[in-house]
Structure 1
Amino acid sequence: MEPAAAFVAFANGKEHLNLDDLSCALIAVFGFKLKKRHLRGLLARHAPGAPGLGLAAFLALVGEQRRELGARDRAFRLFAALDTSSRGFLDLAGFRDVCATTCAPAAARAGEIFFEMDKSKSGTVTLTDFEAYLAGV
Protein backbone atom coordinates (compact mmCIF):
# COMPACT_ATOMS: atom_id res chain seq x y z
CA MET A 1 0.00 0.00 0.00
CA GLU A 2 1.24 3.48 -0.74
CA PRO A 3 2.37 5.35 2.41
CA ALA A 4 -0.10 8.25 2.13
CA ALA A 5 -3.01 5.83 1.66
CA ALA A 6 -1.84 3.75 4.63
CA PHE A 7 -1.70 6.89 6.77
CA VAL A 8 -5.28 7.84 5.87
CA ALA A 9 -6.54 4.28 6.36
CA PHE A 10 -5.06 3.86 9.83
CA ALA A 11 -5.32 7.41 11.23
CA ASN A 12 -9.10 6.92 11.39
CA GLY A 13 -9.84 10.59 10.76
CA LYS A 14 -7.14 11.85 13.15
CA GLU A 15 -4.24 14.01 12.03
CA HIS A 16 -1.69 11.60 13.49
CA LEU A 17 -0.89 7.93 14.03
CA ASN A 18 -0.48 6.60 17.55
CA LEU A 19 1.75 3.60 18.25
CA ASP A 20 -0.86 0.99 17.30
CA ASP A 21 -1.94 2.94 14.20
CA LEU A 22 1.71 3.26 13.18
CA SER A 23 2.25 -0.47 13.56
CA CYS A 24 -0.71 -1.24 11.29
CA ALA A 25 0.23 1.41 8.72
CA LEU A 26 3.79 0.09 8.48
CA ILE A 27 2.53 -3.48 8.04
CA ALA A 28 0.37 -2.18 5.17
CA VAL A 29 3.36 -0.42 3.58
CA PHE A 30 6.10 -3.01 4.13
CA GLY A 31 4.19 -6.26 4.57
CA PHE A 32 5.75 -7.21 7.89
CA LYS A 33 5.44 -6.23 11.53
CA LEU A 34 8.08 -4.18 13.31
CA LYS A 35 8.82 -4.78 16.98
CA LYS A 36 7.14 -2.41 19.48
CA ARG A 37 10.53 -1.30 20.80
CA HIS A 38 11.58 -0.27 17.29
CA LEU A 39 8.26 1.52 16.74
CA ARG A 40 8.64 3.45 20.00
CA GLY A 41 12.10 4.56 18.88
CA LEU A 42 10.75 5.70 15.52
CA LEU A 43 7.97 7.69 17.22
CA ALA A 44 10.44 9.30 19.62
CA ARG A 45 12.73 10.29 16.75
CA HIS A 46 10.10 11.46 14.25
CA ALA A 47 7.49 12.96 16.61
CA PRO A 48 9.25 14.00 19.83
CA GLY A 49 6.74 15.25 22.39
CA ALA A 50 3.81 14.97 19.97
CA PRO A 51 0.68 12.86 20.56
CA GLY A 52 1.46 10.90 17.41
CA LEU A 53 3.05 10.95 13.99
CA GLY A 54 1.67 13.36 11.37
CA LEU A 55 1.56 12.65 7.64
CA ALA A 56 4.80 14.48 6.75
CA ALA A 57 6.70 12.71 9.54
CA PHE A 58 5.19 9.36 8.52
CA LEU A 59 6.31 9.84 4.91
CA ALA A 60 9.82 10.74 6.13
CA LEU A 61 9.85 7.67 8.38
CA VAL A 62 8.80 5.39 5.49
CA GLY A 63 11.57 6.85 3.31
CA GLU A 64 14.11 6.25 6.06
CA GLN A 65 12.93 2.69 6.59
CA ARG A 66 13.09 2.00 2.85
CA ARG A 67 16.71 3.20 2.77
CA GLU A 68 17.57 1.02 5.76
CA LEU A 69 15.83 -1.96 4.19
CA GLY A 70 17.90 -1.53 1.04
CA ALA A 71 20.70 -3.44 2.72
CA ARG A 72 18.22 -6.12 3.77
CA ASP A 73 16.31 -6.08 0.50
CA ARG A 74 17.02 -9.66 -0.57
CA ALA A 75 15.91 -11.14 2.75
CA PHE A 76 12.91 -8.81 2.88
CA ARG A 77 11.75 -9.77 -0.61
CA LEU A 78 12.16 -13.48 0.10
CA PHE A 79 10.29 -13.13 3.39
CA ALA A 80 7.51 -11.10 1.76
CA ALA A 81 7.11 -13.81 -0.89
CA LEU A 82 6.71 -16.43 1.85
CA ASP A 83 4.38 -14.23 3.93
CA THR A 84 1.49 -14.50 1.48
CA SER A 85 -1.04 -13.19 4.01
CA SER A 86 1.09 -10.09 4.80
CA ARG A 87 0.86 -10.66 8.55
CA GLY A 88 4.51 -9.87 9.20
CA PHE A 89 5.34 -13.39 10.32
CA LEU A 90 5.25 -16.96 9.05
CA ASP A 91 3.43 -19.83 10.70
CA LEU A 92 3.93 -23.50 9.97
CA ALA A 93 0.67 -24.04 8.06
CA GLY A 94 1.22 -21.02 5.81
CA PHE A 95 4.85 -21.96 5.24
CA ARG A 96 3.85 -25.49 4.25
CA ASP A 97 1.24 -24.14 1.83
CA VAL A 98 3.72 -21.78 0.16
CA CYS A 99 6.32 -24.52 -0.15
CA ALA A 100 3.76 -26.92 -1.62
CA THR A 101 2.73 -24.44 -4.32
CA THR A 102 6.16 -23.02 -5.16
CA CYS A 103 8.87 -25.57 -4.41
CA ALA A 104 7.99 -29.26 -4.23
CA PRO A 105 11.45 -30.35 -2.93
CA ALA A 106 11.17 -27.89 -0.03
CA ALA A 107 7.59 -28.97 0.68
CA ALA A 108 8.77 -32.37 1.85
CA ARG A 109 11.06 -30.68 4.41
CA ALA A 110 8.83 -27.67 5.21
CA GLY A 111 8.35 -28.63 8.86
CA GLU A 112 12.05 -29.23 9.41
CA ILE A 113 13.00 -25.96 7.70
CA PHE A 114 10.37 -24.02 9.64
CA PHE A 115 11.56 -25.34 13.01
CA GLU A 116 15.16 -24.45 12.10
CA MET A 117 14.04 -20.86 11.41
CA ASP A 118 11.88 -20.63 14.57
CA LYS A 119 14.77 -20.21 17.02
CA SER A 120 12.49 -18.90 19.80
CA LYS A 121 10.13 -21.89 19.41
CA SER A 122 7.20 -19.46 19.39
CA GLY A 123 5.45 -21.09 16.45
CA THR A 124 6.11 -18.06 14.27
CA VAL A 125 9.05 -16.86 12.19
CA THR A 126 9.68 -13.12 11.98
CA LEU A 127 11.82 -11.29 9.44
CA THR A 128 14.62 -11.19 12.03
CA ASP A 129 14.40 -14.98 12.51
CA PHE A 130 14.40 -15.45 8.74
CA GLU A 131 17.47 -13.22 8.29
CA ALA A 132 19.31 -15.17 10.99
CA TYR A 133 18.41 -18.43 9.23
CA LEU A 134 19.71 -17.11 5.89
CA ALA A 135 22.92 -15.97 7.59
CA GLY A 136 23.39 -19.43 9.08
CA VAL A 137 23.08 -18.20 12.66
Structure 2
Amino acid sequence: MRAALPRARTDWAAGGDTDRRQRELLRRYVDAHRAGDHDALTALLREDLRVSFPPLPLWVDGRAAYQEESRRFADPGDYRIVAVGANRQPAVAVLLRRPDHSPFRLHAVEVLRIEADRVAEIVARQMSGST
Protein backbone atom coordinates (compact mmCIF):
# COMPACT_ATOMS: atom_id res chain seq x y z
CA MET A 1 0.00 0.00 0.00
CA ARG A 2 2.87 2.38 0.69
CA ALA A 3 3.85 2.28 -2.97
CA ALA A 4 0.30 2.92 -4.15
CA LEU A 5 -0.85 5.66 -1.76
CA PRO A 6 0.49 9.19 -1.15
CA ARG A 7 2.76 9.60 1.86
CA ALA A 8 0.32 11.69 3.96
CA ARG A 9 -3.10 10.21 4.58
CA THR A 10 -4.69 13.64 4.06
CA ASP A 11 -3.41 13.47 0.47
CA TRP A 12 -5.34 10.31 -0.31
CA ALA A 13 -7.68 11.36 -3.06
CA ALA A 14 -11.33 10.48 -3.11
CA GLY A 15 -12.58 8.40 -5.99
CA GLY A 16 -14.33 11.25 -7.83
CA ASP A 17 -17.09 9.82 -10.01
CA THR A 18 -16.89 6.47 -8.23
CA ASP A 19 -17.55 8.16 -4.89
CA ARG A 20 -20.46 10.12 -6.36
CA ARG A 21 -22.00 6.95 -7.79
CA GLN A 22 -21.54 5.14 -4.48
CA ARG A 23 -23.10 8.02 -2.53
CA GLU A 24 -26.05 8.03 -4.92
CA LEU A 25 -26.52 4.27 -4.55
CA LEU A 26 -26.26 4.63 -0.75
CA ARG A 27 -28.92 7.36 -0.84
CA ARG A 28 -31.23 5.12 -2.89
CA TYR A 29 -30.52 2.20 -0.51
CA VAL A 30 -31.48 4.31 2.52
CA ASP A 31 -34.55 5.73 0.73
CA ALA A 32 -35.74 2.22 -0.23
CA HIS A 33 -35.39 1.04 3.38
CA ARG A 34 -37.18 4.10 4.75
CA ALA A 35 -40.04 3.74 2.28
CA GLY A 36 -40.30 -0.01 2.79
CA ASP A 37 -39.97 -0.32 -0.98
CA HIS A 38 -39.03 -3.98 -1.45
CA ASP A 39 -38.79 -3.71 -5.25
CA ALA A 40 -36.48 -0.67 -5.13
CA LEU A 41 -34.25 -2.38 -2.57
CA THR A 42 -34.12 -5.58 -4.61
CA ALA A 43 -33.01 -3.59 -7.66
CA LEU A 44 -29.99 -2.29 -5.72
CA LEU A 45 -28.73 -5.72 -4.63
CA ARG A 46 -26.72 -8.07 -6.82
CA GLU A 47 -28.22 -11.49 -7.36
CA ASP A 48 -25.02 -13.04 -5.91
CA LEU A 49 -25.06 -10.78 -2.84
CA ARG A 50 -23.04 -12.03 0.13
CA VAL A 51 -23.86 -10.94 3.67
CA SER A 52 -21.72 -11.75 6.70
CA PHE A 53 -22.26 -11.09 10.39
CA PRO A 54 -18.88 -10.94 12.14
CA PRO A 55 -17.76 -12.07 14.60
CA LEU A 56 -20.33 -14.84 14.19
CA PRO A 57 -19.49 -17.61 11.71
CA LEU A 58 -22.71 -16.75 9.90
CA TRP A 59 -23.28 -15.60 6.34
CA VAL A 60 -25.96 -15.59 3.68
CA ASP A 61 -25.33 -16.09 -0.02
CA GLY A 62 -27.73 -14.66 -2.57
CA ARG A 63 -30.18 -11.78 -2.67
CA ALA A 64 -33.28 -13.94 -2.23
CA ALA A 65 -31.82 -15.77 0.77
CA TYR A 66 -30.82 -12.48 2.40
CA GLN A 67 -34.27 -10.99 1.94
CA GLU A 68 -35.95 -14.11 3.34
CA GLU A 69 -33.62 -14.26 6.36
CA SER A 70 -34.14 -10.53 6.99
CA ARG A 71 -37.90 -11.01 7.13
CA ARG A 72 -37.68 -14.09 9.34
CA PHE A 73 -35.15 -12.87 11.89
CA ALA A 74 -35.62 -9.09 12.12
CA ASP A 75 -36.05 -7.90 15.69
CA PRO A 76 -39.48 -6.37 16.34
CA GLY A 77 -39.78 -2.61 16.52
CA ASP A 78 -39.40 0.54 14.46
CA TYR A 79 -36.24 0.99 12.41
CA ARG A 80 -34.39 4.04 11.17
CA ILE A 81 -31.62 3.75 8.62
CA VAL A 82 -28.99 6.50 8.48
CA ALA A 83 -26.26 6.83 5.84
CA VAL A 84 -22.77 6.81 7.35
CA GLY A 85 -19.31 5.77 6.26
CA ALA A 86 -16.88 3.20 7.58
CA ASN A 87 -13.26 2.87 6.48
CA ARG A 88 -13.99 5.04 3.42
CA GLN A 89 -16.79 2.72 2.39
CA PRO A 90 -20.53 3.41 2.23
CA ALA A 91 -22.38 2.16 5.27
CA VAL A 92 -25.61 2.55 7.20
CA ALA A 93 -26.35 2.79 10.89
CA VAL A 94 -29.44 0.80 11.79
CA LEU A 95 -31.34 2.28 14.71
CA LEU A 96 -34.07 0.31 16.47
CA ARG A 97 -36.84 1.36 18.82
CA ARG A 98 -38.28 -1.66 20.57
CA PRO A 99 -42.08 -2.19 20.77
CA ASP A 100 -42.07 -0.78 24.34
CA HIS A 101 -41.38 2.65 22.74
CA SER A 102 -37.95 2.98 24.26
CA PRO A 103 -35.63 5.49 22.56
CA PHE A 104 -34.00 4.58 19.24
CA ARG A 105 -30.68 2.86 19.87
CA LEU A 106 -27.89 1.80 17.55
CA HIS A 107 -28.72 -1.76 16.59
CA ALA A 108 -26.23 -2.49 13.81
CA VAL A 109 -23.79 -1.04 11.32
CA GLU A 110 -23.84 -2.39 7.77
CA VAL A 111 -20.83 -1.74 5.54
CA LEU A 112 -21.58 -2.06 1.84
CA ARG A 113 -19.26 -3.16 -0.95
CA ILE A 114 -20.50 -1.86 -4.26
CA GLU A 115 -19.64 -3.36 -7.64
CA ALA A 116 -21.11 -2.34 -10.98
CA ASP A 117 -23.57 0.04 -9.30
CA ARG A 118 -25.10 -2.69 -7.14
CA VAL A 119 -24.53 -3.80 -3.55
CA ALA A 120 -22.32 -6.90 -3.83
CA GLU A 121 -21.60 -7.47 -0.14
CA ILE A 122 -22.92 -6.37 3.24
CA VAL A 123 -20.89 -6.82 6.40
CA ALA A 124 -23.43 -6.40 9.19
CA ARG A 125 -22.18 -5.94 12.74
CA GLN A 126 -24.85 -6.02 15.42
CA MET A 127 -24.00 -3.88 18.42
CA SER A 128 -23.63 -5.66 21.74
CA GLY A 129 -26.47 -5.10 24.10
CA SER A 130 -28.85 -4.23 21.26
CA THR A 131 -30.88 -7.40 21.56
Q: Same fold (TM over 0.5)?
A: no
Q: TM-score, normalised by structure 1?
A: 0.27
Greater helix proportion: 1
Q: TM-score, normalised by structure 2?
A: 0.28
Greater strand proportion: 2
